[in-house]
Amino acid sequence: SEQADLVIVGAGLFGLTIAQQAVERTGARVEIIEARGNIGGNAYSYMDEQTGAEIHKYGAHLFHTSNPRVWKYVNRFTSFTNYVHHVYTTHNGEVFPMPINLGTINQFFHASYTPEEARRLVAEQAGELAGSTPNNLNDQGISLIGRPLYEAFIKNYTAKQWQTDPSTLPASVIRRLPVRFNYNNRYFKDTWEGLPVDGYTAWFERMIDDPRIHVSLSTDFFDTSQPLNRDALVGKVPIVYTGPVDRYFDYKLGDLQWKTVEFKEKRYDEDDHLGCPVMNYADEDVPFTRAIEFKNFNPERHDRQNHEHTVVWEEYSRSASRNDEPYYPVSTAADKQLYAQYREKVAAEPQVIFGGRLGTYAYYDMHQVIDKALDSFENEVQPLLKK
């Protein structure tokens, strides 16, 4: 570390992109400090020995982008399969395609509406609360897509995600509820999508495959019993910090709220348990929000997978405490105000660039975080590097 020109805290996609750019564009020597025992941040995955499934340890990760710069960049380190994401949902003993589309609507109403007829029906049902301003999530949902579809597909799923009755949640939680008036149930609308052919970890390893990049795993930046800590490094070397912004300042102004996710692993002596990679559960009687059958993300690996067993992860959502993994920023008005106050402290911190989803209290998909990192390198990090 004494010879490092740049220290990066966190080996997630933000930190890895900065490290890769620093070496390629300035020849810097980079030290990456990572609290976990592996690189990749929340996009990390590992191979399951029994089934040959690639398990996404922090929840299902699908790569998708319409950004040509990002697509070109990621293809330097991995190629992508032709996987196209689709999601189904179980409601009232039936399976429906998601997101809500003409197939969902016609199955739900046992009808054969044309796009125009369905559009008219949904507009009419959404008019139930016409003239009033929705002041909670329930009313907002009803005024966006009408009560029948909202109550079937959104209400209980959202209640499980938030562990709260939607009538007590602010309307702002849902700004849009996209309904497609055709049979397209391709989940993402992006130009490019796919999964890394050799898995996420191989992709990430290739990004930092350079002798000038050193990674210290299982090393916490706030642990003063090891040399690569905040107190020893800040002000002495440029730092890119991608951990939680409130943690960096010892939660001095208060805690930013996050949601976390817990997984319950199930194994079945079957080849295929769900018939798809992601099944949502829209009803209250199933306590988890969705189930993920990882094998089904990689049908091209058929010959390398075990067809007598499969592994499924059930996903439970709840609010995070300090010791939980922070997954999704809650971002209430109070959180936004608190984050703005932390930003003032960030601006005063010498030679520390805060980045990534934790460092900037934002939800970003992988392609967005790579894009942010490419910008941040050019605008914020490179000016701090002498070479």
Site of interaction with ligand FAD (CB under 6 A): 9-15, 33-36, 41-43, 58-63, 220-222, 242-243, 261, 327, 356-358, 364-367, 369
Q: Which of 128, 220, 324, 349 binds Na ion (CB under 5 A)?
A: 349
| Cβ proximity to ligand FAD, 106 vs 226, nearer residue | 226
* CB of residue 83 to ligand FAD, shortest distance in Å: 12
Contact call for residue 380 and Na ion (CB under 5 A)? no
Rounded-to-integer distance, Cα 254 and Cα 336, Å: 12
Q: If contact means CB under 5 to 8 A according to the sort of partner, which of ligand FAD, Na ion, none does residue 52 touch? A: none
Residues 6+ apart with CB under 8 A from 58: 41, 42, 43, 44, 261, 325, 327
Rounded-to-integer distance, Cα 111 and Cα 106, Å: 5
Q: If contact means CB under 5 to 8 A according to the sort of partner, which of Na ion, ligand FAD, none does residue 349 touch? A: Na ion
| Cβ proximity to Na ion, 8 vs 144, nearer residue | 8
Task: Examine residue 99 and say whether the peptide bond preceding it is cis (omega within 30 degrees of 0).
Answer: yes
Q: Which stretch binds Na ion (CB under 5 A): 46-54, 243-251, 277-285, 350-358?
A: 350-358
* CB of residue 279 to ligand FAD, shortest distance in Å: 15
| Cβ proximity to Na ion, 255 vs 349, nearer residue | 349
* CB of residue 196 to ligand FAD, shortest distance in Å: 12
| Cβ proximity to Na ion, 53 vs 381, nearer residue | 381
Number of residues written out for the chain: 387
Bridge partner list, 45: 56
Pick from 54, 29, 122: which is nearest to 297 by CA?
Answer: 54
8-state DSSP, 326: P
* CB of residue 238 to Na ion, shortest distance in Å: 10
* CB of residue 354 to Na ion, shortest distance in Å: 7
* CB of residue 218 to ligand FAD, shortest distance in Å: 9
| Cβ proximity to ligand FAD, 139 vs 293, nearer residue | 293
Distance of CA 324 to the CA centre of its chain: 16
Pick from 170, 73, 18, 26: which is nearest to 367 by CA?
Answer: 73
Rounded-to-integer distance, Cα 239 and Cα 229, Å: 11
Rounded-to-integer distance, Cα 357 and Cα 131, Å: 38
| Cβ proximity to ligand FAD, 252 vs 387, nearer residue | 252
| Cβ proximity to ligand FAD, 102 vs 261, nearer residue | 261
| Cβ proximity to Na ion, 122 vs 352, nearer residue | 352
8-state DSSP, 325: P
* CB of residue 36 to ligand FAD, shortest distance in Å: 4
Tokens of 234: 């800040």
Q: If contact means CB under 5 to 8 A according to the sort of partner, which of ligand FAD, Na ion, none does residue 58 touch? A: ligand FAD
| Cβ proximity to ligand FAD, 11 vs 28, nearer residue | 11
* CB of residue 149 to ligand FAD, shortest distance in Å: 24
Q: If contact means CB under 5 to 8 A according to the sort of partner, which of ligand FAD, Na ion, none does residue 137 touch? A: none
Going across the sheet that includes 310-319, the strands are: 94-98, 87-91, 278-281, 290-293, 310-319, 258-268, 328-329
Tokens of 33: 């400090």
Pick from 268, 258, 247, 292: which is nearest to 57 by CA?
Answer: 292
For Na ion (CB under 5 A), the number of binding residues is 2
Question: Do 91 and 160 touch, CB atoms closer than 8 A?
Answer: no
Q: Which stretch binds Na ion (CB under 5 A): 94-102, 134-142, 211-219, 348-356?
A: 348-356
Binding site for Na ion (CB under 5 A): 349, 352
